[in-house]
Amino acid sequence: MSKTKDLVLTAFLIAIVFIATFIRVPTTPTGGLVHLGSVALFDISVVFGPKKGAIAGALGMSLFNLTTEWAMWAPYTFVIRLAMGFIIGSVAKLALSGEKPTWLKTTLYVAALLAGAAWFIPASYVAQIMIFQVPWEVPVASIPGNLMQIVIALVAGLPLITLINMHKPRFLP
């Protein structure tokens, strides 16, 4: 793929995450959000790999933060989602290496999201403590919303991955 096509694809993936993050429901007064940006991050990381997933997730969700009432979250979101996209994409690469039955690929996709969640949930918890300068027990209220975000990413993301892989144009990586 040429550098121009790669740049355009990356910008398009960032825009998808950015727009998907606007489809949201607030969950707690201290900062919880359930949004479809996590679905986009999961799918992009699996289908396009760790670098594209990391960049799209970090920039797309940070831009969302900067253009909404969540601006104080932007630097934290950038780091948290950059690592999350990279983790998911790296684990998902195992599913794409060599011939594997569908059930094994699906299991590896689930493992990829769970690995990303293992980073995302504690990192978001610590970010809340740092942003709001609250005692360690206060952000516990946001954990159910973060778990819900992961469940939604899994339930909505797996069928989308299948559709994307079935209909992905040959010129895409």
CB 170 within 8 A of CB 152: no
Q: If residue 34 lies in a helix (H) or strand (E), which one and from where to where?
A: strand 33-35
Domain residue ranges of the chain, discontinuous segments joined by +: 3-167
* pLDDT at residue 97, rounded to an integer: 83
pLDDT of residue 166: 79
Average pLDDT, the chain: 92
What's the distance, CA 138 to chain centroid? 24
Task: Return the DSSP state at 2.
Answer: -
Per-residue pLDDT tens for 33-51?
A: 689 999 999 999 999 999 9
Could you tell me which CATH number the domain at 3-167 has? 1.10.1760.20
Mean of pLDDT values over 52-72 = 97
For 69-128, the pLDDT digits (tens) are 999 999 999 999 999 999 999 999 988 788 889 899 999 999 999 999 999 999 999 999
Q: Is it the case that residue 31 has pLDDT exceeding 70? A: no
The length of the chain is 173
Run of H or E including 147:
helix 143-167
Per-residue confidence (pLDDT) for residue 141, from 0 to 100: 87
Under 8 Å between Cβ of 92 and 83: no
Ranking 4-8, 14-18, 137-141, 166-170 by mean pLDDT, the lowest is 166-170
Please give the average per-residue pLDDT across 56-81, as a whole number.
97
What are the DSSP E strand ranges found in 23-147? 24-26, 33-35
- Using 50, 70 and 90 to split pLDDT, how confident is the model at 173? low
